[in-house]
Structure 1
Amino acid sequence: MIVFPNCKINLGLHITRRRDDGFHDLETVFYPLPVTDALEVISAPVLTFNSSGIAVPGDAADNLCIRAFRLLQQDYPQLQPVAIHLHKHIPIGAGLGGGSSDAAFMLKALSSKFQLHLSEASLMDYAAQLGSDCPFFIPNRPCYATGRGEILTPLSLDLSTCSFLLVHPGIHVNTGWAFRQITPQTPAYALQEKIMEPVDTWKDVISNDFEQPVFREYPVLAAIKAAMYENGAIYAAMSGSGSAVVGIFPKNKIADIRWDASYLVYKVS
């Protein structure tokens, strides 16, 4: 079985409260894009994980795909071992949710492969145990997210008349550091309402709280965003806590911008 976990972008992101459990409450809009990894799951004598493409850091035994398998196996001991191969194409540590997507798609693949017939709600409950934005990739449709990112309200947001440019300059922004730079506050506008207005109204309204401290620390990210606007973007912003920057352009009108050769660049028409 092969599935193709896709990335997400954040459209607006506000940190609203520091919780007693050490996490933060936030609000954001998740929007899926078809930049994908490839995840293969086949029956095998023992549980294994290997990867290709962009290097996946850390111990393979702690990979989210392995953790997803073991999480389901606790409740479904009949799950037989599988060999997992992940071809990594979504940049890691970019604010695009690639690891979370891999974990969520692993849950869905296992449910299908072993005929567990898990409901969407059940899969989302499992996904929430793996990461704050993992549940989004179960329904995998535009959502307004609150809580830690796991409380999802579907949105009828359709950006099919737009094209997207994702640029990742290889910078890794430490998420814990980024959160420590933010003073939580009540947003100045209702994101859930403003996001439904035309995209060309977003530039001076819809914001990401992480941009100010992250751009101060990594000015190249601000320069990427500025270059997008200078070359015709309707809207541009950093996704999540970074460091991918997303530009939204009129359909099939992404500018041919000359980026540093080391940057990872993805176009979605």
Structure 2
Amino acid sequence: MIAFPNAKINIGLNVISRRRDGYHNLETVFYPVNIKDAIEVVESPELSFNASGIEIPGHANENLCLKAYERLKNDFKLPPVSIHLHKKIPIGAGLGGGSADAAFFIKLLNSKFNLNMNVETMQNYARELGADCAFFIKNQPVFAYGKGDEFEDISLTLKDFFLVLVMPPVHVSTGEAYSGVKPANPNISLRELVGEPLEEWKYLMKNDFEESVFRNHPVIRGVKAELYEAGALYASMSGSGSSVYGIFKNKIELPHLEANNQVFYEI
């Protein structure tokens, strides 16, 4: 059985306060985009995991899919499986690729082995694996708050626009991104701002990570500036990572950005 986990972008991101559990309270809008990994699960004599595509840092035993399997195995009778992950979603980019893989893997196991978990149950398992993991269970636009794992459905579609995502050859760690942020309550919640006309977003919304990340990595700031120069209605870094997306009214090609960066069109 095969699934195709997709990435997400953050539309605005406010870091509000530090939590006692080490996380931060924040608010953001998660929006699914069409950059996808592929994950295959088959029954096997023993549990195994292998990967292809983009190299995944760290030991294979630390992969969130294996952690999801072990967590579910505590509560369900699961046979051993062989997991193959083909990685295409850039890593360290603020796109939630690892979380998406784990969430889609949970949904795969639920379908393949008739575990009869509902959406809420799957979300609760996903929350144990990562702050944004539960988003990918329903995989639809939401206003996210708390540590990024509590959601309110919102009416938002970008289907009439053209999205471009640029991945510079830079890695930004989550720790680095948070170290440069001073938490504060926003004057107006993103819940309200995202309802404003998209053409106004550039004046209303921000990603709190951008200030320090742009200071440390000017190339990322330059990508955002180039997207606006090319006519983007709104451009922003996604999450705490290094990717930057632009939302355009019409289809566009950006060969000058392709020269030094990985560029995804119609995401």
1:260 positional shift: 5.1
SS state at 1:138 partner: helix
* Structure 2 residue identity aligned to 1:116: L
Contact 1:44 1:83 in 2 (8 A): yes
Query: How many residues are paired up?
Result: 267
SS in 1 for 2:213: helix
Distance 2:257 2:65 in 1: 33
Structure 2 unaligned spans of 5+: none
The residue identity in structure 1 corresponding to 2:135 is: F
Aligned pair 1:93/2:92, yes or no?
yes
Mapping of 1:183-262 within 5 angstroms? 183-251=182-250, 253-259=251-257, 261-262=259-260
Look up the SS of the partner of 1:192 in the other structure: helix
For residue 268 of structure 1, what is the aligned residue in structure 2?
Answer: 266
Q: List per-residue Cα deviations over 1:39-70 (Å, max 9, x = no partner).
A: 01111111111111100111111101111111
Which residue number in structure 2 is paired with residue 21 of structure 1? 21
In structure 1, the gaps of 5 or more residues are: none
Tell me the SS of whatever aligns to 1:207: coil
> Are 1:75 and 2:75 counterparts?
yes
Per-residue CA distance 1:96-125 (angstroms, 9 max, x = gap): 000000000000000001000100000000
Q: Kindly, what percent of the aligned residue pairs are identical?
A: 51
Query: By how many angstroms is 1:181 displaced?
Result: 1.1
TM-aligned CA deviation for residue 180 of structure 1: 1.6
Q: 2:169 — aligned with what?
A: 170
TM-score, normalised by the number of residues in structure 2: 0.98
Structure 1 residue 127 and structure 2 residue 126: aligned?
Answer: yes
Instruction: For 2:58, give the aligned amino acid.
Output: G
Alpha-carbon distance in 2 for matches of 1:163, 1:3: 25
CA drift of 1:261 comes to: 3.5
Tell me which moved more, 52-61 or 129-138. 52-61
The two structures have a TM-score, normalised by structure 1, of: 0.97
Give me the whole-angstrom Cα distance separating, in 2, the residues matched to 1:263 and 1:104: 28
**Deviation (angstroms), 1:262:** 4.5
* Deviating more after overlay: 101-110 vs 259-268: 259-268
| Worse-matched range after superposition: 190-199 or 143-152 | 190-199
CA RMSD, aligned part only?
1.0
